[in-house]
Chain A
């Protein structure tokens, strides 16, 4: 398996622009998570899905952030409009709890820079 795939790996954009981050989870995994990592705030859970349904989006910073999971193999995190304080590394992770496989598998991350 290729693992969790994220694209793009790096994104540089200007303030006010729309940014879309993409994630392909591991096949068969039914949980998908979006995290944000910064030096100041560490690793933050933004939102997670179970069977394509958002379960908890309480970590989404504000209405500028939205996430979708149209099917089991694809999810997007969108920021519109982007701001410099959104600069961070965004990770997607997936898991399939049960039968001894409770851990999350992380993608390589998308490094977002908003100028």
Chain B
């Protein structure tokens, strides 16, 4: 069975600083990987996804993530954050071609950007 571990529950950072949110996964088969963002009082929305091909994936709002198969990681990065990036971020994994509709979500990382 697949699992996801988000290594930091809370990440405080100053505006314009770089940030990395860490995600490790476990699966016995090939996977799809996702990062979702949840702003206060809203549903989750997709930031970016890795399905295949290039291991560096670019998403919306200047975020990017790198798939590292050997380390089973999919860390999210942004070189310079804004106040508006304050939100909760979820890493998720789906197993390729098995229960493809179902994703396992991590516990979330709360990113707080301070002025």
A binding-site residues for B, Cβ under 8 Å: 4, 30-31, 33, 42-43, 45, 48, 50, 55-56, 91, 93, 95, 97-98, 100, 102-109
Contact = CB atoms under 8 A, between A and B. Distances in A.
- How many chain B residues sit at the interface, stated as a range, is 20 to 34
Question: Interface residues of A: mostly helix, strand, loop or mixed?
Answer: strand
Nearest to A92: B43
B43 A107 contact: yes
Q: Chain A CB within 10 Å — which of B49, B94, B101, B108 has the most?
A: B101
Interface of B: 32, 34, 36, 42-46, 49, 51, 90, 94, 99-103, 105, 107-108
A45 B102 contact: yes
A102 B100 contact: yes
3 closest cross-chain pairs (CB), A and B: A106-B43, A31-B101, A97-B100
Contact of A42 (B36, B102, B107): B107
A104 B105 CA distance: 11
Given A107-B43, A108-B43, A97 B101 contact: yes
A91 B44 CA distance: 9
A91 B102 CA distance: 15
A62 B56 CA distance: 42
Contact of B102 (A4, A48, A106, A107): A48
